[in-house]
Amino acid sequence: MDRGHCLCGNVRWETDGARLWSGYCHCESCRRNCAAPVAAFFGVEDGHWRWVGIAPARYTSTPDVTRYFCANCGTPVAYASKRFPGETHFYAAGLDTPAAFEPEFHVHYAEHVPWMIVADDLPRYPHGGNEGEPE
């Protein structure tokens, strides 16, 4: 089980299922949404997580993407996309135990910022969703 929350603690969530995957996203929209050089996510199958605090606010950042955030403190907490039906992606930095996050890959690495170097040996996919060969 994973648990997490926003900065102020109003928005809380928990899972009862295994993570589907864990990884880093370097795309421009995730970077801008988090105001950070990279976003760390993990996927959970819908039906295996729930809001246990105040439900988050949400907005549609592109026609197929919904981003969830705390209306009080502004912390991004989750992401859902029609491209990934049946799953919701949670920000690893919001975990109650962020040290338990074990990334498996990088996606959208073609968009990474050159001044942020992540020193690991994980596969780096130039685009999203583990498509094609890693760089």
**In the chain, beta strands by DSSP E:** 3-5, 12-15, 19-25, 39-45, 49-51, 57-62, 65-69, 76-81, 87-91, 105-107
Phi and psi for 33 in degrees, rounded to 5?
A: -60, -40
pTM, rounded to two decimals: 0.92
Sign for the pseudo-dihedral over CA of 116, 94, 50, 21: positive
pLDDT tens across the length of the chain (135 residues): 999 999 999 999 999 988 999 999 999 999 999 999 999 999 999 999 999 989 999 999 999 999 999 999 999 999 999 999 999 999 999 999 999 999 999 999 999 999 998 899 999 999 876 555 555
Domains and CATH numbers, the chain: 3-111 (2.170.150.70)
- Contact between 89 and 13 under an 8 Å Cβ cutoff? The reply is no
